Structures are given as C-alpha cells and as structure tokens.
Amino acid sequence: MSNPSLLILPGDGIGPEVMAEVRKIIDWFGAKRDLVFDVSEDLVGGAAYDAHGTPLTDATMARAQAVDAVLLGAVGGPKYDALDFSVKPERGLLRLRKEMDLFANLRPAQCFDALADFSSLKKDIVAGLDIMIVRELTSGVYFGEPRGIFTEGNERVGINTQRYTESEIARVARSAFELARKRGNKVCSMEKANVMESGILWREVVQKIHDDEYPDVELSHMYADAGAMQLTRWPKQFDVIVTDNLFGDLLSDLAAMLTGSLGMLPSASLGLPMANGRPKALYEPVHGSAPDIAGKALANPIACILSFAMALRYSFDLGTEADRLEAAVQKVLADGLRTADLMGPEGGSPVSTGAMGDAVVAALDASLN
C-alpha cells in the first residue's frame, strides 16, 4: 500500500516560515508513529508569479489534482498590488478551489482555554467555544453571471449575481449534516430568505435534505444578519453553521475573532471523493501572508499546524493522531508559550516561530510517555 501523498504550497510572506514548522510535525509522525507521507513541494501565488509569470502553473494544478491533500501557507502581498487582476497571487488559490471543486469550506472557531482572555468578548461567553462554519465555496455571488462593471447612460454600474442551483446547495448541506453527526448533532442554516430568492431556495433545499436524509440531526434556520448578532451575543448556542459563499466569508471571519486571534485558526476546503474514497482537499491557515513580519521569526505557526491536524482527520482518517496533535498545541499554550501575536498587556518575552514549532514537537514526544 502506498503512503498518503501531500503537496505543500508554502506561498508568500510568512507562508514558508510556518510551513517549515509543519514539516517538523510531519517528520515526527514518520519517525515516532510510523506514519510516512509522500511529500512534494511547489510554488503558488506571488512566488509562482516571480518564477513563472503566473500564480499557478498547469503542472502544479495537475499535481494538486493527483495528491491526497494539499497544504497551503499564504498568498499575496503589497509587492503584487499593481499586477493585472488575472495574475494576482490570490488567483492561484481561487483556481485551486475552483478546479478541484472544493465546495465545502470548513472554518472551526475554537477558543483555547489558555487564550480565552484574548477575545474582545467576556471570558464566560467564549471559554470552551467550539463551533464549525461550513461555507459553500465555489458558487454564489463571487462566481455568478452576469458580473462586471458596465456603462449605463452616463454612469458606470457594478454587477454581481447571486446564483445557486439545488444540487450546489444540497451537497454543502450534506457536508454540514455529516459533520454535525460527529460533533453536537446540531446544524443552523443561515441565509436571507426574507429578501432574497436564492435564500428561499437555500432554506427549502436544506430543509428537504434534512427531512429526507438526516432527520436525526437538529436543524434550525436563521437569517444571516441575525446570525451575526447571535454569534456575538452567545456563540456557544451553535455547533455547525452552514451558509452560502458571501455570508460564510463574513460570518467565519467574525467567528474567528471571537477566539481572540486570527493567527490561531485553520481551515479545510473539501470536494467530492476521489477513487480512493478520500475527498479532494486543501488545507490552509486563516491568516494572510503578513509580509510586514516575514523573515523575522515572529509568525505564529499554530494555525498551519492545526491545518495539518485537520488533514489528518478529514483526508487520512487519522482522528486519534489529529487529537494527539491538537492536544500538544493545547499543552504548549497552557504552559504559557506565546508568539508575538499572543502577547498580552502584561508583556513578557515571545518565542520565535521555530521555538513554537519545537515546543509542539516536544509536547508530541511527551504524549508517548
């Protein structure tokens, strides 16, 4: 039996730095747990543009289609702001998502006990928070036609079209219900059925999928603006939230900041199963490329490390090892180690990117005792 395959795309800014710490984790699993991955590496984003004049080559796209999972660091930076829209670094990421048909974006919002004081909300509201937002990723207003900037009379008008088919809604709904069965068995679907026809269809399709296939899962519906309010009022009422591309973009960033640090959160983008039964998948930290701190050993690698933990769980069916890695991160934070982004007002000495990665490896070693 062949080893599971993983394509690493470090990208731009702090991407290569945080990915170097993930490579330490991958090496640890090979040496200590006999879990050997066939790892390859390639370019994406600005790094690919610098080398090839495109943010993603056809050859890299083909490699991404062939492996069991893709792990991406970050793309973009002010260096590329003047590029034509068609070759901006972010187009490489969007092409990966679109051509791999990664329609379900999983964004966990988990508040580690050691970091509960970092949230802008009161500690009792966020302590123990563990929710999952499932965002539809390949359709909706970001992809609908017609779109563009046109001239009507003597002025310009910008047009974007919100468009969803029943099948697009159904498959992301199924992803949410399947996840809920492994968690708290509760799904809240968010849309704007009060003012948008696409929202009406969304609600009807999600309800039908529930009634026909997942009647054991608790389902509720909520308007997306009310959902935003409830996320800041009492977020622990939710387990899995499923929503469309635009609202998912907004709500997942809101939920991320409930935890106190955007730099701590991973994500997964999943598609349909391949021939081996594994879903096509891309894993990436939520944070950006942070070019202002690139090369300074200040970046927090935990979001990228936790993205690999999600790969262990969702692509490789290694839930026990994913738990082990997440517990190692919890221990490091509980022991008081902090990178610069996690330093509180009391001050202290932050650890470097590499030192944080080394500490997670040490905690993994301790988990074997």
Domains annotated on the chain, with CATH? 1-110+262-369 (3.40.718.10), 130-258 (3.40.718.10)
Q: Is the pLDDT of residue 204 over 80?
A: yes
Q: Which sign, positive or negative, has the C-alpha torsion 142, 231, 252, 213?
A: negative
Q: In whole angstroms, what is the distance from residue 163 CA to residue 198 CA? A: 7
Are residues 224 and 190 in contact, defined by beta-carbon separation less than 8 angstroms? yes
Reported pTM: 0.90
Phi and psi based region of residue 216 (left: phi greater than 0; alpha: psi -120 to 50; beta: remaining): alpha
Confidence of residue 127 (pLDDT cuts 50, 70, 90): confident
Q: pLDDT for 2-40, tens place per residue?
A: 899 999 999 999 999 999 999 999 999 999 999 999 999
Going by their DSSP bridges, the two strands 5-11 and 279-285 should be labelled as unpaired
Q: Which amino acid is at 5?
A: S
- Give the pLDDT score at 65: 95
Which is nearest to 188 in space by CA: 202, 171, 201, 198? 202
Say if residues 73 and 65 touch (Cβ distance below 8 Å).
no
Planar angle of CA 248, 253, 254, nearest 5 degrees: 100
Identify the band that residue 275 occupies on the pLDDT scale cut at 50, 70 and 90.
Answer: confident
pLDDT, average across residues 217-231: 98
Please write the tens of the pLDDT for every residue from 157-171.
999 999 999 999 999
Mean pLDDT of 191-220: 98
Distance between CA atoms of residues 252 and 249, nearest Å: 6
Asked if 101 and 138 touch (Cβ cutoff 8 Å), the reply is yes
Confidence of residue 345 (pLDDT cuts 50, 70, 90): low
Give the lowest-confidence range in 186-190, 259-263, 274-278, 320-324: 259-263
Tell me what pLDDT residue 369 has. Answer: 86
Average confidence (pLDDT) over 72-99: 94
pLDDT in tens, 53-81: 999 999 999 999 999 999 999 999 999 99
d(Cα 298, Cα 290) in Å, to the nearest integer?
10
Residue 348 reports pLDDT greater than 70 = no
Distance CA 207, CA 173 (A): 9
Question: Are 264 and 127 spatial neighbours (Cβ–Cβ below 8 Å)?
Answer: no
Cβ atoms 6, 69 nearer than 8 A: yes
pLDDT of residue 253: 87
- Residues with active-site annotation: 142, 192, 225, 249, 253
Q: Return phi, psi of residue 24, to 5°.
A: -60, -40
Cis, peptide link before residue 146, omega less than 30° from 0: yes
